[in-house]
Chain A
Amino acid sequence: MSLTVLGIESSCDETSAAVVRGHHVLSNVVASQMEMHQIWGGVVPEAAARAHVESIVPVIHQALNEARVRPNDLDGIGVTHCPGLVGALSVGVTAAKTLSLVWGKPLVGVHHLHGHLVSPRAVLADSSEPERSLPFPYLALLVSGGHTELVEVRGPLEFQLLGQTIDDAAGEAFDKGARLLGLGYPGGRAIQERARTGRADRYSLPRALRDDPTRFSFSGLKTAVLRLVEKERDRLDIDDAAASLQQAIVDALAQKTLSVLESGSYRALTLVGGVAANELLRETLRQGAEQLGARFACPPLSLCTDNAAMIALVAEIRLAQGERDDLSLDCASSAPI
């Protein structure tokens, strides 16, 4: 049975609404605040929450219009309620509760990371190869500005955390590194562009905790880039530094992920979250997984960065299982997977 579900996401700096029916994404509208946060070099929580207040209703209307769905056609509403910036989350959650009341439709709260983890299973209008057939259990690497997690996916909504960062997230390493190199925010794209013409072996940067596949660490890398900038000053070749930094982050992620993939004999690996946009990381993991005889899947970019389609997808699975939340649904800044 396929349900038609409205998803709402406002956990960080993207206001998003989407309509999903039977895992097919009918619309996925994202109002990004990136330009606003660029002037500060990062996401400012209160500014993010205020922008959500302005854009939440128009974004929901646009998602329904693009999907050609009326409120009456919906089987329910899913909303991100954890983890994230509480002030930002509460905007989406309040809107979802109010809609649930006005439309008389059931409501479910969705864990943001569950959204990322199921995102490879979404079917886009232009995608010919849906990944719904990924064999359980499979391995997922979730990397974004706020998260670095290695997760065993045991069922549609059954997750086991295998490893995570003990300090900065991988996306944070890109952002902070880019800032130290004077490349601006967001850092991932800037680093990737400058790295194209740079030499990755020019500067030696650390790969932390090499022998521990369950713990990532990127704060030492940030300090190493700072020391490098201090030491080299005007002699520093930014392209080479960007390439060296990118290589260090990708090496750390890939080495641990592939070692867990091998030791756990998983038959598939997925890469999800905003940092999945990094081409070197995607290709390194794809080649590594194929060498180990495992399938590799990575959703298109529109489903990697924060979006409401993945939230609607989780909500569809949970609503189909008969799960419901009521008006007491709470927001939380952190929550275990």
Chain B
Amino acid sequence: MIPTRVVCVSTSSPLTSVALWRDGECAWSHREEARQNASQKALESIQNGLSSIGLSLADLEGIVVDRGPGSFTGTKVGVVIAKVLASELNIPVAGVLSFDLMGPEGPWAIPVRRGVYCRRDAPGSEWRLVAADELGAARGYGPDFPEPTYPDAAKWDPNRDHPRWATWAELQAEYVLPPSITPPKKPYREMA
């Protein structure tokens, strides 16, 4: 069965956004700034949105989630919400990249750390790490974007993005960097 009542959640950026889709149309959406409390904002939005279009959690047939790239903790919040909802409601989940929620026209860029961005040129292509001076005409957010474009759940396009439905266990976040750590030096004694 192809899910027709779908919630789309994005928490990978400073703007948390939730959209509810019914029969291929966006029936409700909401965006809100949430720097520390993305889980609260996202869950409240899901609750409010469902009740305003006369549905409940049990009516959901699928979850689409922004699995990154984006902020470390924010991205995990969305992925955990999606995993738990999918497992407890017994419905499939489809992970999309944050670029997929930033409008149909690339290139797009997402901040990684000071002066470094994650850039994707076109839908479906691989992303790569670039310096701030290689942003070109990219749309995105971060200190180098006076007019930011954030991932927006309402910009998910079921016809363009062809969700790959999977189980909660298969959903994985898209992490940009490995944990920024260096392997330990040899124990002091062996160095001596």
Residue total for B at the interface (Cβ-Cβ under 8 A) = 36
Give the contact-size bracket for chain A: 35 or more
Chain B residues near A179 (CB, 8 Å)? Answer: 184, 187-188
Over the window 42-82 of chain A, the binary record of Cβ atoms lying under 8 Å from chain B Cβ atoms (1 yes, 0 no) is 10111101100100111001000000000100000000000
Over the window 21-32 of chain B, the binary record of Cβ atoms lying under 8 Å from chain A Cβ atoms (1 yes, 0 no) is 000000000000
A182 contacts the other chain (CB 8 A): yes
* Structural contact, B80 and A102, CB atoms closer than 8 A: no
A95 contacts the other chain (CB 8 A): yes
Chain B residues near A230 (CB, 8 Å)? Answer: 192
Over the window 79-122 of chain A, the binary record of Cβ atoms lying under 8 Å from chain B Cβ atoms (1 yes, 0 no) is 00000001100110111011101110000000000000000000
Over the window 102-121 of chain B, the binary record of Cβ atoms lying under 8 Å from chain A Cβ atoms (1 yes, 0 no) is 00000000000000000000
* Structural contact, B81 and A57, CB atoms closer than 8 A: no
* Structural contact, A40 and B184, CB atoms closer than 8 A: yes
* Structural contact, A98 and B36, CB atoms closer than 8 A: no
* Nearest B residue to A234, CB-CB: B192
CA distance A99 to B84 in the complex (A): 7
Most chain A beta-carbon neighbours within 10 Å: one of B44, B73, B189: B189
B4 contacts the other chain (CB 8 A): no
Contact of A98 among B81, B169, B187 (CB under 8 A): B81
Question: Known: A40-B184, A182-B189. Contact between A57 and B36, CB under 8 A?
Answer: no
Tell me, rounded to whole Å, the shortest Cβ–Cβ distance linking A241 to chain B: 10
Over the window 156-192 of chain B, the binary record of Cβ atoms lying under 8 Å from chain A Cβ atoms (1 yes, 0 no) is 0000000000001100010100011101100111101
Chain A residues near B40 (CB, 8 Å)? Answer: 97, 327-329
Residues on B facing A (Cβ under 8 Å): 36-37, 39-40, 43-44, 46-47, 57, 72-73, 76-77, 79-81, 83-85, 87-89, 168-169, 173, 175, 179-181, 183-184, 187-190, 192
